[in-house]
Structure formats: C-alpha cells, structure tokens
Structure 1
Amino acid sequence: MDFKGKVAIVTGAGQGIGLEICKQLVLQGAIVVLNDIDSQLADNAVKSIGGKQSNCIAIAGDSSDLSIINQMVDKTIADFGKLDIVVANAGITLFGDFLTYTPASFFKVMEVNLGGSFFLAQAAANQMRKQKNGGSILLMSSATGHQAHRNLAAYGMSKAALEMLAKNLVIELSPYKINVNSVAPGATLTERTLKEEDYKKTWETLTPMGRAATVSDIAQAVLFLVSDKAKQITGQSLVIDGGWSSVSPSPYKE
C-alpha cells in the first residue's frame, strides 16, 4: 500500500496499536501527526519512528478535549496543507461491576471513547469537505462491542456505539467521498495487556487461531481500510480476534 503524499492524524498513539499504525503509515510514505495524552510518550514515540526525518510530529493532549482536537487539525493543515486520513484510536478501559459502576467512570469512558472519536471525525470531515478530495476515517472499536465481557458493560457499550457511528456517517459523508469504517480488535499483545498475569497464555488457549493478536495484525488491517484500495468500503466493521467472537469462551474462571 502506497501512502506517499498522504497526511494522517492518529490519536492514542504513544504506544501499542496506535504507535504501530503510525510506524506502518510512515514506512509506507505518509506524513503522520501522532497524538497521545502523555507528552513524554508522544515524544518518545516520534523518536522511535525516526524523529524529524520520519515525517512524524507529536501533538500531546487529551483527545476528547475539543481544543486539542481543533489544535491537531489546525496544526496539520498549517504544517502539511491537508488532511487525508484520521484514525481515532484513543480510548480508555475502566473495568467495573455493573451493579456498582460509578457515574464518574461511566461518563469518562463515554467522553474519551465516544466524544473524542465523534468530534475528531467531525473536525476531520469538515476539513476533508473543504479540500474536495475525499478522505478516510477509521474508528477503533473492540470485539467486546460484539460479545459480552465481564466488567466491561460501559466499555463494550461505547465500542458498539462507534460501529453504529461508522454506519451512520455513510449517509452524512459519502457525498464528500469520505469513507468511514471501524476495526474491532480482540485480545492483543500490548504494553498494557502484557502486564496482566498470564494474559498471553490465557488467550493462546481461548483463541481458535492459537494466539492473541499482535499490534501489527491490527495495524495492517487499519492501513488497508484507510488506503486507496478500500475506497469502496464504508460503514463496515472488521473484527480481528483470531476467531474468539465466534465461540466466545470467557477468560474468567467461574
């Protein structure tokens, strides 16, 4: 896939899936604006990709904050003249039993996972409409938006909602040649998940394909959906979970 001349924004990209998406986009010739709420992570991520020679810059800040969203889009246009691709990858997981889940946790999950993605897509779409050349928007869902998972009622709800947003935006954005899709990763080996005890071993047992996904597995699917090869694909969600959601064994011991 050739991304030469393309300009992308990727949120939540200081590490894990987001960082790998940035690396792969840059490798294929894109210019990338990398966002993370942690400024140190964002700066280190850019350095790991290759610094200034890599056509990757960092903008730190909360991706659910409208001022940061506008800053990302404005900076992208000021520095690079256009915006072709947006990957709304930033999200948070706040585990908790439904019967005792707090309003603070609920609204934080919705603010980041839904609000941040919704308003980034809105800002990007308005810019792409001005450019009159179309564009691609990718929303990061989850396999837990397809199958119930203990202690993730709010999170799974937010991820399922993002897939409905992708469908709805087909109506709103297709006239401007903007395609919108979502990717729903299952268990994936990242810096965060590998801190969980026996995560890798557990998901090797539960996943029909015999392993958890790698960040590269997810990034390669994302790159396809935001590439020119996928322009006729819109309003779709691609589940990448090694078959787990087909059989849905629980990782929890009853």
Structure 2
Amino acid sequence: MIPSLSAPAHAISAIGKNFIVTGGSQGLGYAIAEQLAGSGADNIAILARTKSTGEAAAEKLSSLNPNTKAHFYATDLSDPASIKASCASTISDLSKISGLVNAAATTERGNLETTTSDDFDWQMICNARGPFLMSQAISNHMKSEKIRGSIVNITSVASKGGAPFIMAYSMSKAALECMTRNNAAELAPHGIRVNGVAMGWCYTENEDKLQTLQSDSDWIKKADCSQPIGRILRPEDVASTVNFLLSDASNMMTGNIVDLHPEMAHGMLSLDAVDTVER
C-alpha cells in the first residue's frame, strides 16, 4: 500500500497563522488581506507607506472577523532601513510569521527611448529590491523559528516581454520571477515554499483612473466584453490564488509562477499589445 499522510489534506484555512502583506492598505494588497481575514488568520500585518490609509485598512480588516487582528506598520519599501525596522517590529509583535505576500509595486510608463536611468532604478528598487529585502528578513525568521512558511510574490504577465510601453516595469517583474525560483530552491530544505502569481489585466483603482483618463468611464464594460472568458481580472481573483498558495492546501507547490491572465495565450504578449496592462 502507498503510505498515507498522518493527517488528511488541508482545506484553505489561515486559522492559527500570522501573515505580512506589503501594500495591504488598498487595492490588490487589501483584497489579499481581506481574504486572509475571511480564512481565519490570527494576525495580518499591513506594510505600506501612508499612515492614515493603513490604519483605516487595519481597522476595517479587524472588523471582518472577531478572531482576526490587523496591524499597520508604516513602511517605505524603497528604504532598506525602513524595511528592516518594520520586519523587526512585526516579528516582535506577532512572534511567528507564517506567510509573506510581496504585493506592493509601482508601475511607470516608459519605453526604451523615454525611460530615464532614475525611472529604471525606481522600478527595480520598488518591484525587485523591496521584495528581496522582505523575503530575506522573513525567511531568516522562518528558518530561525523552524516555521514551514510560504512566500508569495505578485508578478505580471508583462514579465514575459513584448510590452514596450512598460519596459522597466516588465524587467523588474521578470527579475522578481527569477528571484522567486531561486529562493524556492534555496529555502525548500527548510520547509519554506516560494511561489508567484503572474497577473494579467486587472480592474484596480489605479487602472480605473488611468483608463478613465485615456478613454471613458465605461472602459470596464468594453474591456470585459472583449475577453474570451467574459471579463478581465478582479483583485478578488488574484487574492483567491494567493490565499491558496499561502495555505496548506498547496504544501507541495514551490518555485511555481501561476499564470493568471486568461486574456493572454501562454508566452509573449502580442507585439501590438495596447497600453492597458496594469497592476
């Protein structure tokens, strides 16, 4: 007979676990934190820049589930010292961190001709170096405490190339995907899993502002109708996938980049892709 596990397969549950979500005060990050609260997480630490927004988000999250407490830590994810201080405070307050979601990012338009060196550096600092420093600090904690944890990095279909209007952003997300696989290989012997979610076109507050400015307020109806599956992504779609990757239900998955872009075929974006990819 094939040996069975000592316990049955786990459902998607966050009960008894503590999580960190960068960029968790709004948009996609908040949607991820919201689903973790719904799954019964004990504690959720939101790391973001703006105090007023972050504290309001933490208060709202804490009201969703009587067993969940959300905490806000003002963090400049472009500043190594700020990241180090916030990680130390979070670990001190919550004792043990079960999972990390690197959701914070910046998206700046610019192609090979128009992107400045400062533009390029900023995208790499926010979208690649920030997640690197967060992963380094939290994985060291997990190893020290012998926690079989999970790290999820939010990447993008743009990482596959073919989107010149967001050249530096695409490169930063490709770097993040490479780091995801490297870290998965390094941390697997410690029982720490590392995966990524490559997003496609998603309706977010920032995307709504951009598309309304460039076209009109009905852009989402047109965008949804243009998709073979009937609509573009919503933050909740991404959050559900992240929730799965953080849970014990995915405890044999590591080093994977989950493609979540039903509007695109696998592989490179079309060379005539319009300026619509946003996260």
TM over 0.5: yes
After TM superposition, the structure 1 = structure 2 runs for residues 69-88 of structure 1, keeping only pairs within 5 Å, are: 69-88=83-102
**Residue 152 of structure 1: CA displacement?**
0.6
After TM superposition, the structure 1 = structure 2 runs for residues 5-84 of structure 1, keeping only pairs within 5 Å, are: 5-30=16-41, 31-50=43-62, 54-84=68-98
C-alpha contact 2:111 2:168 (8 A) present in aligned 1: no
Tell me the equivalent position of 2:273: 250
**Residue 71 of structure 1: CA displacement?**
2.4
C-alpha contact 2:75 2:82 (8 A) present in aligned 1: yes
SS at match of 1:100: coil
1:124 pairs, out of 121, 130, 138, with 138
1:210 pairs, out of 230, 247, 256, with 230
SS at match of 1:93: coil
Which shows bigger deviation, 80-89 or 194-203? 194-203
C-alpha contact 1:207 1:241 (8 A) present in aligned 2: no
C-alpha contact 2:185 2:255 (8 A) present in aligned 1: no
Tell me the equivalent position of 1:228: 248
Whole-angstrom CA distance in 1 between matches of 2:261 and 2:168 = 20
Q: Which has the higher helix share?
A: 1
C-alpha contact 2:75 2:86 (8 A) present in aligned 1: no
Q: 1:57 to 1:150 in 2, by over 3 A?
A: same
SS at match of 2:113: helix
Is 1:92 matched with 2:106? yes
**Residue 50 of structure 1: CA displacement?**
3.1
RMSD of aligned alpha carbons: 1.9
**Residue 78 of structure 1: CA displacement?**
1.6
One-letter identity of the residue aligned with 1:209: I
Which shows bigger deviation, 75-84 or 154-163? 75-84
Is 1:188 matched with 2:189? no
Whole-angstrom CA distance in 1 between matches of 2:231 and 2:137 = 37
SS at match of 2:153: strand
C-alpha contact 2:151 2:195 (8 A) present in aligned 1: yes
**Residue 48 of structure 1: CA displacement?**
2.3
SS at match of 1:192: helix
**Residue 72 of structure 1: CA displacement?**
2.6
C-alpha contact 1:163 1:236 (8 A) present in aligned 2: no
User: C-alpha offsets along residues 185-231 of structure 1, whole Å, 9 cap, x if unaligned?
Assistant: 11111111111224424532443212111110000000101111111
SS at match of 1:148: coil
Number of equivalent positions: 253
Whole-angstrom CA distance in 1 between matches of 2:53 and 2:265 = 32
One-letter identity of the residue aligned with 1:25: L
Whole-angstrom CA distance in 2 between matches of 1:113 and 1:84 = 22
Tell me the equivalent position of 1:106: 120
Q: Name stretches of at least 5 consecutive residues in structure 1 with no aligned partner.
A: none
Identity of aligned residues (%): 32
Whole-angstrom CA distance in 2 between matches of 1:185 and 1:40 = 28
